[in-house]
Every structure is written in structure tokens, then in C-alpha cells.
Amino acid sequence: MVKPPFELRQRRDFGQLISGSFALMRQHGRPLYRAIAVSCLPLLLFGAYLIGGGFGQMLGARTQDPFTSTGDRFAYGGIMIGVAYLLFALLIVFLHALVHEFLRAHDRGEGSSATTSFLVKRALGRLFHYLGILILLGLMAGGAAVVFVLLILLEEPVLSVVAVLGMLAAVLAVTTYASLASAAQAVERAGVTTAMHRSFMLVRGDFWPTLGVSMVMGLIVGAIGYIVQILGVVVMMLLMFLGASGDPEAMNSVMPMVMSVFFGLQFGVMLFTYPLPCACMVLKFCSRVEETEGHGLRSRIEAFDAI
């Protein structure tokens, strides 16, 4: 196994985790971004087309159409939008698997030579493992929130505020403790429940740094996405204002295209920024393993003794 130029299995502090994520993707992320462009971008464009078509059907229901009823147009448009969101959800799961399998390949010295077909096959082969981790994480976060939601339904003002704060704290705690599970699956090929247990054990005693680094990376990626989203909202509001003072028929023909571009840009930015937080959590996982177990140091000593 050839050691990669960028070593994952090192101890890193908070700043090194953030900067290391950007450095890893900048120096070695070309095969991953090529695989994302080839395997994910066409599905994204198709989903954006469905979004635009669905809104087009709904807006077209306002016009007089002797061949199609208003209810049929709304139903057809809703189905198109629902299929688009389902496609986006599957795309996110596949992207999650693809990024982590690339990071595993890099850890094993195969990242720079990894082809798109190699990464896609590896991602598809482990897709259900990552899906299981995400579903289990969602169930745990949802279960942590259920009790507090029931308290909110009591409609007691003070109790509702406490319940909301408690729900946020519980969800943050669960997601933080499980944040290294996908990294454990990628690096160590742990099973779903084993990966969750591994994550909980490594985060225990290091909760606040783990929460902090995940929030910072989330804010960085989220800020980029929100900039695109705000620009899209401004454009849509401008077109809606112009359409309200102009020809409604022209507005109905423009808005589906605007929605397609808006959703395409929003999810497109996510496609190419999502590897950053994933890389950060894998680096955090490797750093915690080095701090608690020192696997990288032992492997280097064994390699030296073998010479």
C-alpha cells in the first residue's frame, strides 16, 4: 500500500482540521470532482428540469386549457416536483458514499489514480451501509426530539421555550456523537452499528471540539449555498414583480426556467462543496484514533522495523 502525499492519519488541532480539509481537496480532489461531474451532475440537471416542469404545470393550470383540467395539471406538477426531490435525496446519499469512498481510496494510496468508474462502483457497493448510517442517525435525532415536541404541544409558554432549547440540545448532542460514523465506515469498514458505536466512543471526551469543527465547516459550506440562494430569491422576486406589472402569460413561461436554474445552482453548489465537511470529519476521526490508539505511529514503527 503506497502512502499518500497528504497523510490522513495524523493528530491535528482545530485549525489544522479546517485548513487540512481545503488542502486535501485542493491538492488531491480532482478524481473526486471528476466523478461528481460525470455521475451526479446529469442527475442534478434532470432533477432541475423536473422542478421547472412541475412549476410550469402548476402555473399553466391558471390558464384556460380546453384539453387539460386544472386538477390534472396540479397533480401532474406535484408528481414531477415530488420525483425531483426524491431524486435529490438519492443523489445526496450517493454523493455521501462517493466522497467517503474517495477518502478511503486516498488513505490507501489509491486516490490520485482512482478513475470515475472505480469510485462509482465502490460507492454503489457500499451505498446501503452509508444509507443505514444516515437512517439510523435520523431515527436517533428524531427520537431525541419526540419528547420535547410532546412538551411543546402542551402550549405552556415557559415550558415550550425550555422544550425547544432542550430539543435543539438533544439533536445537536446525538448528531455530534454520531458525526464520525461515516468516517469509521470508510476508513475501517465497520458495520452500521459498529460504526455508530465507534463514533460515540471517539467523540466521548472530545465533544465540544467535535461539535465546534463540524459547525464551523457547516457554516462555511452553508454560507456559500446561502449566497447562491439569496441571489436566486432576488432574481425570482424581480421577475415576479416585472411579471405582476406585465404580461401574466409571459410570467408563466419564465418562472419554470427560473425555478430550474435556482434549484440547479443551489444543489450544484452543494455537490462541489459537500466533500469539504466530509473530509473534515474523516480527518477528525483519524486524529482521534491517533490520540486514543496511535495506529499511525505503530504502523510507521512496524514499517521501519521491516526495512
Number of domains in the chain: 1
Residue type, 6: F
**279: nearest Cα among 85, 67, 33, 55:** 33
Give the domain range for residue 103. Answer: 21-126+206-293
**Is 242 contained in some domain?**
yes
**Is 277 contained in some domain?**
yes
**Is 16 contained in some domain?**
no
Out of 13-22, 140-149, 283-292, least confident range:
140-149
**How far is Cα 201 from Cα 272, in angstroms, rounded to an integer?**
31
**How far is Cα 221 from Cα 275, in angstroms, rounded to an integer?**
10
**Is 146 contained in some domain?**
no
Predicted confidence at residue 301, as pLDDT, reads 47
Q: Could you report the per-residue pLDDT of 45-57, keeping only the tens digit for each?
A: 999 889 888 887 8
Give the number of other CB atoms < 10 A from CB of residue 246.
11
Q: Could you report the per-residue pLDDT of 143-153, keeping only the tens digit for each?
A: 877 777 766 66
> Quick one: average pLDDT of 218-240?
78
Q: Is the pLDDT of residue 154 over 80?
A: no
Q: Is the pLDDT of residue 162 over 80?
A: no
**Is 62 contained in some domain?**
yes
**Is 151 contained in some domain?**
no
CA dihedral 217, 138, 129, 40 (to 10 degrees): -60
Predicted confidence at residue 199, as pLDDT, reads 95
- Global confidence as pTM: 0.85
Predicted confidence at residue 67, as pLDDT, reads 47
**Is 216 contained in some domain?**
yes
Q: Is the pLDDT of residue 24 over 60?
A: yes
Predicted confidence at residue 209, as pLDDT, reads 94
**Is 305 contained in some domain?**
no
Predicted confidence at residue 91, as pLDDT, reads 94
